[in-house]
Amino acid sequence: MQLVHLTDLHFGCEDKTALAAAARYVSEHKPDAVIITGDISKDGLASELNNACDWMRDLGVPVMLTPGNHDVPYYEMWGRLAYPWKRFERAAEGIQTAPWHTDAWSIVPVNTARAWQVRMNWAQGEISRGQTAIAAAELQQAKPDALRIVITHHPLDWPNDAPIKGLTRGGQRALDKLVDAGAELFLAGHLHFASARLYRRKALSVVSGTLSQRVRHEPCAFTVIRRPLKDIIETEVVYIVQGLCETASIRQFRLNAPAEPGAPAEIHANV
Ligand SMILES: [Fe+2]
């Protein structure tokens, strides 16, 4: 099984060279699916959202999509209040946005973006108790050998070395509940920064880079996810440099490894 995780395309300030390289990678490697975790537009304009979704439809493989904080009408207060997701939903028609179960995977999307919030920074994410309960129930639909994946725009846990600080409200609570419900892999974006870390030795939390001009300390990037064995998840971070895809790292993580010393959870790293 091979999945490609893209995020933060930010059409409106997209990096056309990076998008072309990513599309070429997909057409050459033919992954089973492409997962896109939001911020597909810059300002939530219909033209940006439509262009982003048209680009996804041209990838030639199944695409799964969940929205980000930039996918609401960004500078339009009335739009945020009255029809926050209408343009996104219209643009994404025909693209998979609902939970997706196959023999190989269960992908459960949760929308952590909010049109408005009772806090200063509306770009931050939130996952409610209700959303967590629905996602946990959805994970119970997974086939026995399916990789159980939860996808969100905002990371539920925040990597220590992330280039921007923030907090996903309810994230820690949700992470624990979803791991208890069987989640094995979390995919997120928002940080424009590649990261992978194990959580409680039971699940892998992955954040991928951006394909936009809004890079932060790293070139445009995406992540390829493989599952060479049932309990092993491999991440390949691909940087796009001068229009070419370059492997930045390949790491393998063992889920459910024993906690004794000498049994490392990360079993192979090649940078
Ligand atoms: Fe974001």
Report the pLDDT averaged over residues 167-191. 97
Alpha helices in the chain (DSSP H): 16-29, 46-57, 77-82, 86-91, 129-139, 171-180
Q: Residue 92 and residue 95: Cα distance in Å, rounded?
A: 5
Residue 17 confidence (pLDDT): 97
Please tell me the distance between residue 190's alpha carbon and the centre of ligand 1 in angstroms.
4
Report the pLDDT averaged over residues 109-115. 96
Please tell me the distance between residue 168's alpha carbon and the centre of ligand 1 in angstroms.
11
Please tell me the distance between residue 215's alpha carbon and the centre of ligand 1 in angstroms.
12
Which pLDDT band, with edges at 50, 70 and 90, does 268 fall under?
low
Strongest mean pLDDT among 73-82, 130-139, 154-163: 130-139
Report the pLDDT averaged over residues 180-195. 97
Please tell me the distance between residue 66's alpha carbon and the centre of ligand 1 in angstroms.
12
**Number of domains making up the chain:** 1
Beta-carbon count within 10 A of 220 CB = 27
Give the torsion through C-alpha atoms of 41, 45, 48, 50, to 10 deg: 110
Residue 185 confidence (pLDDT): 98
Report the pLDDT averaged over residues 219-233. 96
Please tell me the distance between residue 8's alpha carbon and the centre of ligand 1 in angstroms.
7
Query: 120-142, pLDDT tens digit by residue?
Result: 889 999 999 999 999 999 999 99
Please tell me the distance between residue 71's alpha carbon and the centre of ligand 1 in angstroms.
9
- Is residue 101 scored above 70 in pLDDT? yes
Which pLDDT band, with edges at 50, 70 and 90, does 49 fall under?
very high
Please tell me the distance between residue 216's alpha carbon and the centre of ligand 1 in angstroms.
13
State the average pLDDT for the chain: 94
- Is residue 271 scored above 60 in pLDDT? no
Give the residue numbers spanning the domain of 148: 2-270
Beta-carbon count within 10 A of 159 CB = 16
Residue 270 confidence (pLDDT): 59
CATH number at residue 106: 3.60.21.10
Q: Give the whole-number percent of the chain exceeding pLDDT 70.
A: 97
Residue 150 confidence (pLDDT): 98
Report the pLDDT averaged over residues 84-88. 97
Which pLDDT band, with edges at 50, 70 and 90, does 51 fall under?
very high
Please tell me the distance between residue 209's alpha carbon and the centre of ligand 1 in angstroms.
11
Report the pLDDT averaged over residues 176-182. 98
Which pLDDT band, with edges at 50, 70 and 90, does 111 fall under?
very high
